[in-house]
Amino acid sequence: MSLQEPYNDSLALGATALGALAALLAVVDVLAQEDTGLPVEDAVVTFAPAVPPPITRDHPVRLRLLMEATVVDLPIDATHTYECWTFGGHVPGPFIRAREGDILDVCFTNRDTSGMPHNIDFHAVTGPGGGTSLLTAESLETKNASFRLLTPGLFIYHCAVEPVGVHIANGMYGMMLVEPKAGLAPVDREFYVLQSEFYTNHASSSTSKLEFDFIAALDERPTHVVFNGRGGALTGPDTLKANVGDDVRIFFGNIGPSLSSAFHVIGTTFDRVYREADLISVPARHIQTTAVPPGGATVVEFKLRVPGNYTLVDHAILRVEKGAVGFINAEGEPLSPDIYSSDEPAVVCAGCKIHP
C-alpha cells in the first residue's frame, strides 16, 4: 500500500491532509537521500490474512511507512461489536514487510480524538522502548522517527502507552517481517494470522455493543480468544483458500495480552517450524503443536497433501468456544490415494466447530 493511500475508505484522509502529507514526505525523501544515499521506497502493507509479496531486491532501502491510530467500532463475533483502538482501522494492524538492513522511516499520526495519546513499540527496533519515546503522539499529532532494522525475524508491534495492557487488549497491534538478506525460500501461499484476547461485558441489555472489562483483564479471564481480530475471521466465506500440493507458510503471532498459544493445524504436521520466529537457525521438523508466548511469533510451513478443510486452533482447545478457530480449504486431487482413504463415507458430527 502506498503511503498516499488511506488504509480504509471510511477513514480516508481529506484532500488537504493528503497534500500536506505528500509535501512532508517529499522533504523526508530529500533528507533521506542526503543522509544515507539509500534509495527510498514506500512500504507495501496488507491487512490480515493477506501478506505483502516477497522482497526481491538485494540491497537495503529507506522504507517509508505511514501509520495511523484510530478508534473504530468493529465486529468482534457474529453478534457483537466493540470499540476497537486500531492501527489503520483494522484489528490486527497492517503486516509490514521489510529486509534486514533497511532503514524504516515511520510517520505516525494519532487520529484518536478522545484526547488519548498513542505510540508504537516495534519489537524489531533496536533502542529504548522499541521506538515508543520517539513516536508518542498526542491527539491529532504526527511524529516521525527512523530505525535501522538490524535483526531478521517476525516481530510483533503494539501501542505501549500506559497502561500498556489496556491498549493491547483494545486492538492496537500487528506484525512486521524483517526478511534475512538472503530472503526466504519460495512457497505457494503465505498467510498472516495473529491471535489475541478481548475482555468484555455488555454495554447494556438492549445493545449488541460490548465494552472493555478492566477487572476481567486483570484477572486474565478473556471472553474472546480470536484469530485476526474477531471470532469467525477465518471461517465461512473468509476461510483461507489453497490447492492440494501447495506449500503453505503461516506467519503466526500471539499478542496476548495474557495467554500463551499452543498453535496447531488439525490434519497436518508442520514440516518446518521457525521457533520464536528465528529465521536464521535450522528449523525444527515435523512438529505437531508449537508454543507461542504473549508478544511472540513463529513461522510454520507445511504441504497440503489431501483435499478438504484443515483447522487452525489454539490447542488449549476450549478456546475454540471463545473464537480461536479458523480453516484452510484445500482443493484438488490427493497427492497419493493411500494417504487418507476409507471404504466408508466421511461423517462429521452435527454442529462441530472444528470439523465442518
**How far does Cα 259 stand from its chain's mean position?**
17
How far apart are alpha carbons 338 and 260 in whole angstroms? 36
**Exposed, middle or buried by CB within 10 Å (0-12, 13-18, 19+), for 204?**
exposed
Residue 205 pLDDT: 67
Same domain for 154 and 19? yes
Residues 119 and 15 in one domain: yes
- Degrees (nearest 5) of the Cα angle 11, 12, 16? 130
Answer yes or no: do 175 and 217 share one domain: no
Residues 247-259 as b/e (b if ≥16 CB within 10 A, e otherwise) read bbbbbbbbbbbbb
pLDDT of residue 11: 38
> Are 309 and 225 in a shared domain?
yes
Domain presence at residue 346: no
- The predicted pLDDT at position 163 comes to 97
In a domain, residue 97? The reply is: yes
**What confidence score (pLDDT) does residue 25 get?**
52
Closest CA to 182 of 101, 70, 294: 101
Report pLDDT for 355.
Answer: 86
User: Is residue 85 one of the residues assigned to a domain?
Assistant: yes
Q: What is the pLDDT of residue 346?
A: 85
256 and 111 inside one domain? no
- Provide the β-strand partners of residue 107: 66, 144
Residue ranges making up the domain that contains 227: 189-331
The tally of domains found in the chain comes to: 2
Domain assignment of residue 3, yes or no: no
Domain end: 179, 206, 231, which one? Answer: 179
CATH number of the domain encompassing residue 202: 2.60.40.420
| pTM metric for this prediction | 0.89
Distance CA 319, CA 325 (A): 8
What would the pLDDT profile of 264-282 be if each residue is shown by its tens digit? 999 999 999 999 999 999 9
**pLDDT at residue number 20:** 46
156 and 201 belong to one structural domain: no
pLDDT < 50: residue spans in the chain: 1-21, 23-24, 27-28, 30-34
Same domain, 151 and 235: no
Whether 354 maps to a domain, the answer reads no
Answer whether residue 350 is part of any domain.
Answer: no
Tell me, what amino acid is at 110? N
Can you give the pLDDT at residue 33? 46
Is 280 a domain residue?
yes
What's residue 35's pLDDT? 57
- Domain finish residue from 179, 213, 235: 179
Look at phi and psi of residue 5 and say left if phi exceeds 0, alpha if psi is from -120 to 50, else beta. Answer: beta
Say what the pLDDT of residue 18 is. 46
Residues 122 and 206 in one domain: no
What is the DSSP annotation of 4-16? TS-SSGGGPPPHH
- Around Cβ 71, how many Cβ atoms within 10 Å? 18
Beta bridge partners of 209: 81
